[in-house]
Structure 1
Amino acid sequence: MTFLAIREMKKEKFRYGLVIAVITMISFLIFILSALAFGLSRENTTAVEAWHTNSVVMSKDADGNLSQSLLTADDLADYAVNQDQAQVALTPGIMKGAGLREGVMFVGINADDLVSRSITLTKGRLSQNSDELVVSDKLRQKGFKLGQTVELGINNQNFKIVGFAKDAEYNIAPVAYGDIKEWSNVKGVSNRFVASGVVSRKTLVAKSDQVKAYSKAQFLNKMPGYSAQNSTFLFMIVFLIVISVIVVTIFLYILTIQKVQNFAVLRTQGIPSRYLALNTLSQTVIIMVSAVALSVVLALLVSLVIPTQVPMYFDIPLILLTGLGLVVMGTLGSLIPMRIIAKIDPVTVIGG
Structure 2
Amino acid sequence: MFLAWNEMRRNKIKFGLIIGVLIMISYLLFLLSGLANGLMNMNREAIDIWKADAIVLNKDANQTVAQSSVNTDDINGKFDKSEGLKQTAVIATDGKLKENATVFGIDAKGFLMPKLEDGKLFKKNNEVVADHTLKTKGFKIGDELSLSNSDEKLKIVGFSESSKFNASPVLFTNDETISKLNPMFKGDKINALVVKDKNWKDAQLNKDLEVIEIEDFVTKLPGYQAQNLTLTFMIVFLFAISAMVIGIFLYIITLQKRNLFGVLKAQGLTNGFLAKSVMSQTIIIALIGTLIGFGLTVLTGAFLPEAVPIKFDYLTMSIYGIVLILVAILGSLFSVLSIRKVEPLKVIG
Query: TM-score, with normalisation over the residues of structure 2?
Result: 0.95
State the shift of 1:79 in Å. 3.9
Cα distance in 2 for residues equivalent to 1:10 and 1:75: 75
1:133-163 per-residue CA deviation (whole Å, 9 max, x = no partner) reads 0111111111211122212363231121111
Within the candidate set 325, 328, 342, 1:327 is matched to 325
Instruction: State yes or no: 1:178 paired with 2:173.
Output: yes
Q: Which moved more, 1:145-154 or 1:275-284?
A: 145-154
Q: Is the 8 A contact 2:43 2:167 kept in 1?
A: yes
* 1:158 corresponding residue in structure 2: 153
State the shift of 1:13 in Å. 0.4
1:89-122 per-residue CA deviation (whole Å, 9 max, x = no partner) reads 1122111223221011111102322213xx2111
Instruction: State yes or no: 1:98 paired with 2:86.
Output: no
- Consecutive unaligned residues of structure 1, counting only runs of 5 or more, are none
Structure 1 residue matching 2:159: 3-state secondary structure: strand
Q: Is the 8 A contact 2:103 2:170 kept in 1?
A: yes
Distance change in 2, residues 1:190/1:11 (3 Å): closer
Within the candidate set 175, 183, 189, 2:184 is matched to 189
* 1:256 corresponding residue in structure 2: 254
Cα distance in 2 for residues equivalent to 1:266 and 1:30: 38
Cα distance in 2 for residues equivalent to 1:279 and 1:111: 65
Cα distance in 1 for residues equivalent to 2:146 and 2:210: 33
Cα distance in 2 for residues equivalent to 1:343 and 1:159: 77
The code of the aligned residue for 1:70 comes to S
Cα distance in 2 for residues equivalent to 1:79 and 1:135: 31
Structure 2 residue matching 1:102: 3-state secondary structure: strand
Cα distance in 1 for residues equivalent to 2:287 and 2:54: 42
Cα distance in 2 for residues equivalent to 1:308 and 1:167: 11
The code of the aligned residue for 1:102 comes to E
Identity of aligned residues (%): 34
* 2:287 corresponding residue in structure 1: 289
State the shift of 1:62 in Å. 1.1
Cα distance in 2 for residues equivalent to 1:54 and 1:19: 48
Q: Is the 8 A contact 2:75 2:205 kept in 1?
A: no
Cα distance in 2 for residues equivalent to 1:190 and 1:202: 25
Distance change in 2, residues 1:132/1:153 (3 Å): farther
The code of the aligned residue for 2:106 comes to I
Structure 2 residue matching 1:328: 3-state secondary structure: helix
Within the candidate set 134, 137, 142, 2:132 is matched to 137
| 1:292-331 equivalences in 2 (<5 Å) | 292-331=290-329
Within the candidate set 163, 167, 177, 1:168 is matched to 163
Within the candidate set 88, 98, 109, 1:112 is matched to 109
The code of the aligned residue for 1:344 comes to V
Q: Which moved more, 1:91-100 or 1:180-189?
A: 180-189
| 1:1-352 equivalences in 2 (<5 Å) | 2-79=1-78, 84-116=81-113, 119-152=114-147, 154-189=149-184, 191-192=186-187, 194-203=189-198, 204-205=200-201, 207-351=205-349
The code of the aligned residue for 1:103 comes to N
Structure 2 residue matching 1:173: 3-state secondary structure: coil
State the shift of 1:182 in Å. 2.9
Cα distance in 1 for residues equivalent to 2:330 and 2:172: 51
RMSD: 1.6
The code of the aligned residue for 2:335 comes to P
Distance change in 2, residues 1:145/1:166 (3 Å): same
Q: Is the 8 A contact 1:241 1:329 kept in 2?
A: yes
The code of the aligned residue for 2:122 comes to S
State the shift of 1:78 in Å. 4.9
The code of the aligned residue for 2:22 comes to I
State the shift of 1:188 in Å. 4.1
Cα distance in 2 for residues equivalent to 1:11 and 1:305: 36
State the shift of 1:272 in Å. 0.7
Structure 2 residue matching 1:277: 3-state secondary structure: helix
Structure 1 residue matching 2:39: 3-state secondary structure: helix
Cα distance in 2 for residues equivalent to 1:180 and 1:233: 38
Matched residue count: 346
Cα distance in 1 for residues equivalent to 2:314 and 2:167: 22
Q: Which moved more, 1:160-169 or 1:186-195?
A: 186-195
- Consecutive unaligned residues of structure 2, counting only runs of 5 or more, are none
State the shift of 1:75 in Å. 3.3
